[in-house]
Amino acid sequence: MTLELEHFLTVGALLFSLGLFVALSKRNAIGVLMGVELMLNAVNLTLLSFSRFSVSERPVAGQTFVVFVITVAAAEAAVALALAVSVYRNRQTVDIDRINLLKS
């Protein structure tokens, strides 16, 4: 049995839907961040799959996009974790429902 594009896209769709479920169902800020990271990894898998199975003049384009997505994901994780630590220091919680910083 050979692995085709459909197999990789199915795994990517399942991974993305799992990340979406985690991001929408968790009340903890760290859990939401983990869901967002799962979704970004699903996008990376999809980009690499299309890059691998497509015939083009520039086959490296998919890997280039993945490097940019990984860079953005690392920056997002660093900033979000710094914000979560800052909010925890001020409010003693990372529960999204209990954080009401912007309410007047």
Length of the chain measured in residues: 104
User: The tokens 């690499």 sit on which residue?
Assistant: 48
Residue span of the structural domain in which 65 resides: 5-98
User: Does some domain include residue 103?
Assistant: no
Q: Specify if 87 maps to a domain.
A: yes
**What are the DSSP calls for 17-44, one per residue?**
HHHHHHHHH--BHHHHHHHHHHHHHHHH
Residue 29 lies in a domain: yes
CB-based contacts of 88, cutoff 8 Å, min separation 6: 94
pLDDT, tens digit, for every residue of 57-94?
777 777 888 888 889 889 988 998 888 888 888 888 87
As a whole number of angstroms, the longest Cα–Cα distance in the chain is 60
pLDDT tens digits along 16-54:
999 999 999 988 888 888 999 999 999 999 988 988 888
Tell me the pTM. 0.80
Q: What does the alpha-carbon distance between residue 61 and residue 84 come to, in Å, rounded to a whole number?
A: 34
Confidence grade of residue 4 (pLDDT, cut at 50, 70, 90): very high
Q: Which CATH number goes with the domain that contains 50?
A: 1.10.287.3510
Give the chain's domain count. Answer: 1
